[in-house]
Amino acid sequence: MEGQLCANLEISVEKPPGTSPPSFIALLKIYRELLVSKIRNTQCLIDNLINNEYFSTEDAEIVVQFPTQADKVRKILDLVQSKGEEVSEYFIRVLQKVTDAYYELQPWLDEIGYEPSENICSRPVVNTDPVSRYCQKLRHELGRDSKFVVSYAQREEMLLEETYSNSIMEMVSFTNESLGEVCQLEALFDDAVGLINEDGETIYVFGDAGIGKSILLQKIQSLWARKQLDIGAKFFFRFRCRMFSCFKEDEAVCLKDLLFKYNCYPDQDPAEVFHHILQFPHTVLFTFDGFDEIYSNFDLSSVPEMCSPDEPIHPLVLLVSLLRGKLLKGSKKILTARTGTEIQRNIIRKKVLLRGFSSSNLKEYTAMFFKDEGQRTLVLNQLEANPNLCSLCSVPLFCWIIFKCYEHFHSMYDSHELPDCSVTLTDVFLLMVEVHLNRSLKTSLLKNNTRSQAEMFKARKETLLALGKIAYRGMGNSFFIFEQEEVTAANISEEDLQLGFLRTVKGYTGFDSQSTYEFLHLTLQSFFTALFVVIEERVGTKELLQFFNECSSTETVQPTCLHIPWLKKHLAGEDPFRNNEHFHFTNLFLCGLLSRSKQKLFRHLVLPAVIKRKRKTLITYLGESMKSHLKGLTRSRLLNYNQIQVQPNFVWMLRCLYETQSEKVGKLAAKRMHANYIKLTYCNAYSADCSAISFVVHHFQKRLALDLDNNNINDYGIKQLLPCFSKLAVIRLSVNQITDHGVRILYEELSKYKIVTFLGLYNNQITDVGAKYVAKLIEECSSLEYVKIGANKITSEGGKCLAQAIQKSKTMFEIGMWGNQVGDEGAKAFAEALRNHPTLTNVRLTKNELDDEAAMSFAEMLKVNKKLVHLWLIQNQITAKGVKYLSEALKENTAIKEVCLNGNLISQEEAKAFENEERIICF
Ligand SMILES: Nc1ncnc2c1ncn2[C@@H]1O[C@H](COP(=O)(O)OP(=O)(O)OP(=O)(O)O)[C@@H](O)[C@H]1O
């Protein structure tokens, strides 16, 4: 267009200053063909011309008779020009005001420098463009739909704005290494951060059950609807992946219908709106929630990779084509799934990991939830006293349930305390069910001071069974949506529905012809499934253990749970969409519900003999499967240690064992491990899992090494490890969420027993405050040899404390300080500490803002020191001058093997001067 513009401008319409204003008629003549090619929407022009009585209805009728858009524009131009200057100017004014419809002409308007006259400014312009109207409608509907977070029952909804709290969100690499925290949601779409594959188009958000993936999408939707998310998206289409399971194998839908029928339908000219979307895909944002929830028999390998935007085809094919960028290439897409869901790399652009609430997020959420200050303080105090509960609360869903239960009981009884002992997830869900049942009681019954969970469950046994039955049936087939007939067939009454365990869902059948239902949360369906298996007397051994078998059988075939058939060929007969996390949850609840402590609760629901039989079967099974699971683990023989390296599924095993609350089971697990070094790295363990770890580990008789590197453990998790510290000789907690508070607990505990030799705290959130606790530990604990505290937030102050403590230590062998900011002052202190150190051999001060002064201090130290072997000063600001000091010093030192200086301010040319000193490594 620009070329055309320039050519046209040569026939200048601008008049010299002082002469009469430009002729708009002339402008329309000169740019006639440009206008004809760029104006796609004539209706808006006609509407406005009629509104202002520039056009009569006959004029409009004449225009409409022309078959093509171009001819319509030509006719409008003819009519407008024939009506004179004012109408011609108004025509241009409409093009200027309705930017949405005529955005392609905005550069032209700039070029001609159009400024409306006073008279024309007073003339109203209304945007009747179907695309703009659709965008407005979409914003309105999405804004309305994202306003509330659906809670217990539809009648009690929470405003998203008063609920949503920030949580930990990290961009990660393909191998899940952190690439930095996401502080603003716009960053999700910003290529400057976290981009791992420029050919991929999908932003993949993942995290555990209830961690907040859906609510994050809701937040994004709400911000977009309020124009508070500046990412250039004009259209927003949201889908829940479980919807795709609702289509029959032979169903076919075209892209237009998928977009409009399942989201928001254009009131005018759907074809034009769709055409616009096809033309400008980069203005479209899709969200696909819960990829792990798709279940379908549809065979994707039978369809071609490419599909046309106009042709009806199975919706799963459309989904896949959109994700792969085969349809609407360039559109923005966010896909969520639970951790462990395998998505092939080539569709991923960025990976975002949700880690739940940090301790400060939890405080913010508590403040939001409990508006009353007194109540808030009470809850915070109770939480503080119960780290077990706090660690459960790092998962927002569990936190919400716990708070809701507290709120409910507090309002019903004069006071209510959060549980003060260990709480299992089964306890939390039982409490939730009780609250739902409790809420249905008539108000007159409400105010009393006693409550009996057992009574409540007994009174509603039939309801629980009915809900359990439908949950169980769905779970077996990975169905999470239920048709009205299924609900009726399961004997779920209207009154049962009112309890709010099931909620109605819209939008799965296109035009909402019939009600469909789903459980409030998938974990609740897992819970009801387990409840059914426990209280239905006819359930035999096979059914009882059915979901354990599901988990183990898929694992043997495909350890990563779900794989995507359209991207990787799958084995014949295997369900391609199967993710077994909901089975894991079912098993976990089964262990909890069959635990001895729940005996009382079930006494009135099932015959005690039946429960006993089921418990026995379960415990025997756990014992057996534990044995085979432990046998299959990788074992290594290390100096002083027998190491086992576990897989993420081991955490599920520990969780199940913990839910049983049986000391006998915990003890057996400890015994069967036949190891004293447990490597639980990259297992996606979160803080509450530390309760389960302690549950087993505290049974160990002797000293033990526990490696929890690369998990999601915060300070509350550290508190949960309290029963283990007396045994721990090696404790590795690198790449977790530990702050100074957690380090303080570590100091207090580890200094009591003084057996720790290795402390790994690399890549956490430790500042100088935490560094001081580590320093105290080094001073007080003569057993300590290795400390890894790199990639934290330690400055010269913390650096100095650590160095001084090391100076006093007679055992320290290695200190890792990579990626802190100790600077030259800190470096000086380290040099001083090293001068005559009897044991310290490895020092890593990579990336610590050190310059030549630091190099000089180390050079002086090296002249005296006789023990240091490796000194890493990589990626600092040391110049050739500093290197010279160091190389001179090495003449007097035979102990040291290497001084690594890669990534400093030394050129290849300068490095040649030190070529003879092989121990100086510059490149
Ligand atoms: N950031 C948050 N702020 C406030 N509440 C939250 C937040 N994240 C989650 N919640 C609470 O937890 C509930 C469950 O969250 P959500 O459904 O988003 O989890 P999810 O990760 O999608 O789980 P799943 O994988 O099981 O579907 C929400 O309804 C809300 O009450």
pLDDT means per 10 residues in the chain (923 residues)?
41 49 88 93 93 95 92 96 95 92 89 92 91 92 87 65 92 90 92 93 94 95 93 92 82 92 89 90 94 72 73 88 91 92 87 93 92 88 84 92 83 63 86 83 49 83 94 87 89 88 72 75 94 92 83 40 32 44 89 92 89 93 86 87 88 92 91 92 92 92 93 93 94 96 96 96 96 97 96 96 96 96 95 94 95 95 94 95 94 92 93 89 88
pLDDT score at 576: 39
Question: 313 and 234: one domain?
Answer: yes
- Asked if residue 801 belongs to a domain, the reply is yes
Q: 296 and 244 in contact (C-beta within 8 Å)? A: yes
Domain boundary among 113, 128, 143: 128
Question: Ligand 1 mean position to 526 CA, how many Å?
Answer: 16
Structurally, the chain folds into a number of domains equal to 5
Question: 871 and 887: one domain?
Answer: yes
- Asked if residue 721 belongs to a domain, the reply is no
Question: 429 and 313: one domain?
Answer: no
Q: Which residue has the CA at smallest separation from atom 25 of ligand 1?
A: 209
Question: Ligand 1 mean position to 149 CA, how many Å?
Answer: 9
- Please give the number of the atom of ligand 1 that sits closest to the Cα of 289: 22
Question: 780 and 812: one domain?
Answer: yes
Q: Is 293 exposed, middle or buried (0-12, 13-18, 19+ CB in 10 A)?
A: buried
- Please give the number of the atom of ligand 1 that sits closest to the Cα of 149: 29
Question: 445 and 568: one domain?
Answer: no
- Please give the number of the atom of ligand 1 that sits closest to the Cα of 368: 4
- Asked if residue 14 belongs to a domain, the reply is yes
Question: Ligand 1 mean position to 208 CA, how many Å?
Answer: 10
Question: Ligand 1 mean position to 818 CA, how many Å?
Answer: 36
Question: 899 and 822: one domain?
Answer: yes
Q: 404 and 396 in contact (C-beta within 8 Å)? A: no
- Asked if residue 524 belongs to a domain, the reply is yes
How high is the ipTM of this complex?
0.99
Q: Which residue has the CA at smallest separation from atom 24 of ligand 1?
A: 209
Question: 811 and 861: one domain?
Answer: yes
- Asked if residue 855 belongs to a domain, the reply is yes
Q: 778 and 809 in contact (C-beta within 8 Å)? A: yes
Residue among 164, 214, 219, 221 whose CB has most ligand 1 atoms within 8 A, to mutate: 214
Question: Ligand 1 mean position to 761 CA, how many Å?
Answer: 29
pLDDT score at 417: 62
CB contact set of 396 (below 8 Å; sequence gap of 6+) = 165, 167, 210, 211, 212, 215, 356, 357, 365
Give CA separation, 642 vs 322, 587, 636, 676, 756, in Å: 49, 30, 6, 5, 17
Residue among 157, 352, 400 whose CB has most ligand 1 atoms within 8 A, to mutate: 400
Any idea what the CATH number is for the domain that residue 263 is in?
3.40.50.300
Question: 351 and 369: one domain?
Answer: no
Question: Ligand 1 mean position to 509 CA, how many Å?
Answer: 25
- Asked if residue 706 belongs to a domain, the reply is no
Q: Which residue has the CA at smallest separation from atom 10 of ligand 1?
A: 396
Q: What string of DSSP letters covers 612-664?
A: HHHHHHHHHHHHHHHHHHHHTSEEEEETTEEEEE--HHHHHHHHHHHHHT-HH
Question: 321 and 176: one domain?
Answer: yes
Question: Ligand 1 mean position to 389 CA, how many Å?
Answer: 17
Q: Which domain holds residue 245?
A: 134-356
- Asked if residue 680 belongs to a domain, the reply is no
Question: Ligand 1 mean position to 356 CA, how many Å?
Answer: 9
- Please give the number of the atom of ligand 1 that sits closest to the Cα of 522: 26
Question: In Å, how far from its chain's centre is CA 329?
Answer: 24
Question: 472 and 453: one domain?
Answer: no
Question: 500 and 587: one domain?
Answer: yes
Distance in angstroms between the alpha carbons of the first and the last residue of the chain: 52
Domain boundary among 559, 592, 608: 608
Pocket of ligand 1 (CB under 6 A): 149, 163-165, 167, 207, 209-215, 290, 338, 365, 396-397, 400, 522-523
- Asked if residue 791 belongs to a domain, the reply is yes
Q: 431 and 601 in contact (C-beta within 8 Å)? A: no
Question: Ligand 1 mean position to 219 CA, how many Å?
Answer: 11
CB contact set of 392 (below 8 Å; sequence gap of 6+) = 398, 399, 402, 423, 425, 428, 688
Residue among 154, 215, 217, 588 whose CB has most ligand 1 atoms within 8 A, to mutate: 215
Domain boundary among 95, 128, 161: 128
Any idea what the CATH number is for the domain that residue 75 is in?
1.10.533.10
Question: Ligand 1 mean position to 396 CA, how many Å?
Answer: 6
Q: How far apart are CA 451 and CA 446, in angstroms?
A: 10
Q: Which residue has the CA at smallest separation from atom 15 of ligand 1?
A: 212
- Please give the number of the atom of ligand 1 that sits closest to the Cα of 357: 1
pLDDT score at 548: 81
Backbone angles phi, psi at 240, to 5 degrees: -105, 130
Question: 446 and 469: one domain?
Answer: no
- Please give the number of the atom of ligand 1 that sits closest to the Cα of 292: 25
Q: Which residue has the CA at smallest separation from atom 12 of ligand 1?
A: 397
Any idea what the CATH number is for the domain that residue 870 is in?
3.80.10.10
